[in-house]
Amino acid sequence: MKLAPSILSADFAALADDIKKVASAEYIHIDIMDGHFVNNLTFGVNVVKALRPHSDQIFDCHLMVDNPESMLVDLQKAGADLVGVHYEACPHLHRTLTMIKQLGMKAEVVINPATPVSVIEPVLGLVDQVLIMTVDPGFGGQAFLEETLAKINQLAIYKQAHGLDFEIEVDGGINDQTIKLAKKAGATVAVAGSYVFGAENPGARLQALREGAAQ
Ligand code: DX5
Ligand code: ZN
């Protein structure tokens, strides 16, 4: 399984130092929140740009914003590799995902816990990754919602039945135990924020996640 530590739980005054502590992870997960789509407000494109020289990892930008189309060009210039947009924030989802791909980035569609998988079926042939939220977005440190496991499994079955090859990412409440459930259901990438950066040794937490996923 690929790991995506979320800098939402890192030290905002020392982000460059904190991402060095998780250099063994495949992705860096960057939660961009606008205070509208979700109540919380984090950081924007300038932080992506500032971090870019500090890491060669895949920058996995999770946009929890209204009108995400307006920041795609700037995100590409800032060095984003993969951009996730919420189904719930995109009335013209097909166009938005196409725009991400045309800019040369990988495209991801994200669904909230209350949103069924069936609504994104029409765009599954277009995406590189699907993010099934395993908590309601907005904050770190929430408990994993086990009712999302059935959706992960449903998506994994659909992917296999249709010969598609997108990654299935999970985000929210991931620790060394819940990662097992997500993997068993079919997830291939796991985001973890508080479990990794809430610990003294984030690198050791990544190792614990890898061991959990391997069991
Ligand atoms: C929540 C964010 C997550 C968050 C996860 O809206 O999308 O990426 O950092 O935090 P944990 O792992 O603490 O649930
Ligand atoms: Zn996220």
The pLDDT score that the predictor gives to residue 10 is 98
pLDDT tens digits, residue range 120-134? Answer: 999 999 999 999 999
212 CB near ligand 1 (under 6 Å) = no
Minimum-distance ligand 1 atom for the alpha carbon of 194: 13
The pLDDT score that the predictor gives to residue 24 is 97
| Rounded distance between C-alpha atoms, residue 167 and residue 129, angstroms | 4
For 25-58, b/e burial (b = at least 16 CB within 10 A) is: bebbbbbbbbeebbeeebbbbebbeebeeebebb
pLDDT tens digits, residue range 170-183? Answer: 999 999 999 999 99
pLDDT tens digits, residue range 53-73? Answer: 999 999 999 999 999 999 999
pLDDT tens digits, residue range 99-124? Answer: 999 999 999 999 999 999 999 999 99
- pLDDT at residue 39 is higher than 90: yes
**Cα atoms found within 13 Å of the Cα of residue 127, Cβ hemisphere only:** 27
The pLDDT score that the predictor gives to residue 55 is 98
pLDDT tens digits, residue range 2-20? Answer: 999 999 999 999 999 999 9
Decide: pTM greater than 0.80. Answer: yes
Q: How many domains does the chain have?
A: 1
171 CB near ligand 1 (under 6 Å) = yes
Minimum-distance ligand 1 atom for the alpha carbon of 8: 9
The pLDDT score that the predictor gives to residue 130 is 99
- pLDDT at residue 215 is higher than 90: no
Which residues span the domain enclosing 116? Answer: 2-214
173 CB near ligand 1 (under 6 Å) = yes
How far does residue 100's CA lie from ligand 1's centre (Å)?
Answer: 23
Average pLDDT estimate for 160-165? 98
100, 8, 16, 107: which is closest to 53 by C-alpha? 16
**Average pLDDT of the chain, as a whole number:** 98
CATH of the domain at 108: 3.20.20.70
Active site residues: 31, 171
ipTM of the complex: 0.99
